[in-house]
Amino acid sequence: MSVLIVGSTALDSIKTPKAENPRLLGGSASHAAVAASFFSPVKMIGVVGEDFPKKYLQLYRRHKIDLAGLQILPGKTFHWSGEYEANMNNRRTLLTELGVFETFTPTLPKPYQATPFVLLANIAPSLQHHVLDQMARPKFVVADTMDLWLNIALTDLLKLIKRLDGFVLNDSEAQQLTKEDNVFAALKKIHTLGPKYVIIKQGSHGSILSGPRGFFLCPAYPLPKVVDPTGAGDSFVGGMMGYLASARGSIDDNLRRAMIHGSVVASFCCEGFGLNRTAKLKRTQIEQRVRELETLTKF
């Protein structure tokens, strides 16, 4: 089955203590769509400006991503610039130029509307709502978010959460949303907001699922060197949704392995700037790390 993915499509200029990389392909939808593409057909919704490099369109196409929902508008592509500290965990935004993103209205091409799996990757909750409004009874809807929307669009976000099957956020966002320092207490509180499945991402510590079958402690793949963590969370949720859409059986039967596959794609994402490493990835390399994670967690 296929996955519809909406989110940001951006150019990222990323600075780390070791290197500086201007105008890489970035954005939550780009990372999530490429990650999902290793498992299932992907339909992308997004917007870019006329300055968007052709090579990045080609990159999407190489991953067989359906671009019927990608608007190319007069103006500039959304541009984000950020700098990481030495520990690669803390980053600060240097610059945000919204460009054509400022007036983006995601409109679904007709063939998108019946897509069974929907990933509302990180973007304004109002736009996530707008996409859902155009869908015809999807099978499984998951949204990701970020602290910005907790700060400036909390009402919209809370309404969105009620409409979801699964909600994904990171540990500091979960703390901000629930005022709970304990991640398991936070998971419990988030269920009361609506979703059957809640996943809290913990960066290099992996992620935790809470669902009808209880908790699942999903490990992160061990990386002795992180080149650039930008997009790892989007890759995780994209890979997870792509795997889910590809798997037979129930969501409950498949979600754990889906998270593991997402976690593995995220690990590759961290090994290059932007999408540099992910874009070269082969399915066999993903499966190799999935097997390694089995060994790494067996006792």
User: Would you tell me which residues interact with a second copy (CB under 8 A)?
Assistant: 86-89, 181-185, 188, 202, 204-205, 208, 214-219, 222-226, 256-257, 259-260, 294-299
Local structure of 137: helix, strand or coil: coil
C-alpha distance across the termini of the chain, in Å: 35
Nearer of residues 115 and 267 to a second copy, judged by Cβ: 267
Report d(CA 40, CA 248) in Å as an integer. Answer: 12
Question: Which pair of tokens denotes residue 81?
Answer: 């610039």
The DSSP bridge partners found for residue 92 are 83
Around 283, how many Cα atoms within 13 Å sit in the side-chain half-sphere?
8
Q: Are 118 and 142 in contact, with CB atoms under 8 Å apart?
A: yes
How is residue 136 annotated by DSSP? S
Q: Which amino acid is at 131?
A: V
The DSSP bridge partners found for residue 11 are 25, 79
Closest C-alpha to 70, from 34, 28, 27, 106? 106
Report d(CA 177, CA 188) in Å as an integer. Answer: 12
Secondary structure, 3-state, 82-133: EEECCCCCCEEEEEEECHHHHHCCCCCCHHHCCCCEEEECCCCHHHHHHHHH
Report d(CA 62, CA 73) in Å as an integer. Answer: 22
The β-bridge relationship of strands 214-218 and 207-211 is antiparallel
